[in-house]
Each structure stands twice: as C-alpha cells, then as structure tokens.
C-alpha cells in the first residue's frame, strides 16, 4: 500500500507554518536547502554503480542521500530488521521525476497529471520492479529527510514500509518541501520469491528465489 501525506493532515496548521517558516510563499522549486545539504545526487559521467551503502554515499559526499539512508537504516537497526537498505539510482531517478512533476503542477498525488505512476517511472529508469514490490511515502512541509521519515513513523507505526524486511532498495527526492521516498525489491527474472513471516519484526522476510 502506498502512503499519502499532506502536511496539514494530523500535523495541524501550526506545524505546517512552523516547518515552512521563512519561505515567503516562494515557489517550492526554488526553496533553498539547509546549509551544507545537497538536494539529490550528481552521478559521475560513465558511472555504472547502481546502489550504495551509507559509507559509500558518505565517501561520495552525497549528503542528501546519506542523511535519508542513514536515518532509515538506523530505524531498522533499532528494530533488528534485515537487510539494511541500499540507495538505488533508478529509484532516485523515479523519485526525482515524480517530485518535480508534483511541484510543477502543485499537487500531491501518486499519479502524475498525465497518468504516469511512480511504478512507471521506476521501470522506465531501469529498475527491475516486480508486482506489489514498491511502496513509500509522498508528503509536503518538510525540509529535512530525517524529520519527514520520523513523522511518517509516528503517523504510521504499524506495517510501515521504512522498517519492512521485504524491501532492499530506497531512492528519494525533495523539491522545496515536497518529498517522494520509494522503497522496492527487484524482480528476479520471473523466479518464485519465497517469504516467511517473522514475528520478531512483524513482517515477511525474504528467504530466496527459486
């Protein structure tokens, strides 16, 4: 299930005004990021690596992706959830395209005005997406990745995809205060993927593909 958040929902008008203070009504696409934080990765020419650990993102100097990935994996470590997530460029590309479209057309929806879905974007970017193996959150009203993630954990404490063992990759994007965070598990060339329920993490855990 894909999750949907508008900052006014449950947070209240006061929280929205506080989180957006100083924007002065400027279009979200030109809102400045926090000092020292880049908005989205900058892949190197000829780059072929598709997924990254926290340590690899830190070496690359990608503070945006690192901050998102580290907060998500810290939540998983706290709950003994495996595997830890890896940042994936194709999911990031899908998240960037979707967030830009939401900002450009001033809406907050999983489907773009032209009918394109985030699944469409992920597949077009090259991610080997299997049926029902993509989830995430969209939202508005947050400058910080960790703040957005923590808010989603408070609002959706049960069956939250951020701490679901069935996902292995993540990609995210922010335009102004609009966010898209996507989590996914790649398809395995039409093999049968086997999951077993783990009561310790209250989630299905991937056992292998056959």
Q: What confidence score (pLDDT) does residue 42 get?
A: 46
Q: What confidence score (pLDDT) does residue 105 get?
A: 96
Residues 195 and 185 sit within 8 Å (Cβ to Cβ): no
Matching residue, tokens 């999951």: 195
Residue/partner pairs of 58-66 with CB below 8 Å, 24 or more apart:
62/38, 63/36, 63/37, 63/38, 64/33, 64/37, 64/38, 64/39, 64/40, 64/145, 64/172, 64/174, 65/40, 65/41, 65/92, 65/172
Q: What confidence score (pLDDT) does residue 142 get?
A: 95
Averaged pLDDT in 10-residue chunks for the chain of 210 residues: 43 31 26 40 56 94 96 97 95 96 95 93 88 86 96 94 94 96 80 55 52
Q: What confidence score (pLDDT) does residue 18 get?
A: 29
Q: What confidence score (pLDDT) does residue 196 get?
A: 59
Q: What confidence score (pLDDT) does residue 104 get?
A: 96
**pLDDT digits 0-9 by tens, 150-169:** 999 999 999 999 999 999 99
Structure tokens given for 184: 């996914």
Structure tokens given for 180: 């898209």
Q: What confidence score (pLDDT) does residue 49 get?
A: 76
Q: What confidence score (pLDDT) does residue 187 get?
A: 81
């Amino acid at each position: 299930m894909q999750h949907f958040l508008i900052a006014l929902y449950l947070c209240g008008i006061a929280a929205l005004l506080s989180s957006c203070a100083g924007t002065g009504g400027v279009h979200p696409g030109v809102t400045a990021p926090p000092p020292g934080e880049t908005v989205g990765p900058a892949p190197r020419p000829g780059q072929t690596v598709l997924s990254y650990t926290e340590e690899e993102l830190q070496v690359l100097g990608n503070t945006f992706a690192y901050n998102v990935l580290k907060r998500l994996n810290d939540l998983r470590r706290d709950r003994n959830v495996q595997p830890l997530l890896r940042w994936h460029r194709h999911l990031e590309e899908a998240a960037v395209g979707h967030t830009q479209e939401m900002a450009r057309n001033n809406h907050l929806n999983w489907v773009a005005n032209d009918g394109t879905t985030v699944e469409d974007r992920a597949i077009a970017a090259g991610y080997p997406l299997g049926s029902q193996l993509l989830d995430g959150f969209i939202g508005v009203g947050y400058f910080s990745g960790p703040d957005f993630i923590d808010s989603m954990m408070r609002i959706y404490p049960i069956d939250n995809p951020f701490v679901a063992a069935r996902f292995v990759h993540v990609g995210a994007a922010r335009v102004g205060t609009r966010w898209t965070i996507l989590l996914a598990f790649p398809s395995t060339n039409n093999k049968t993927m086997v999951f077993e329920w783990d009561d310790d993490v209250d989630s299905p855990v991937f056992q292998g593909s056959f």
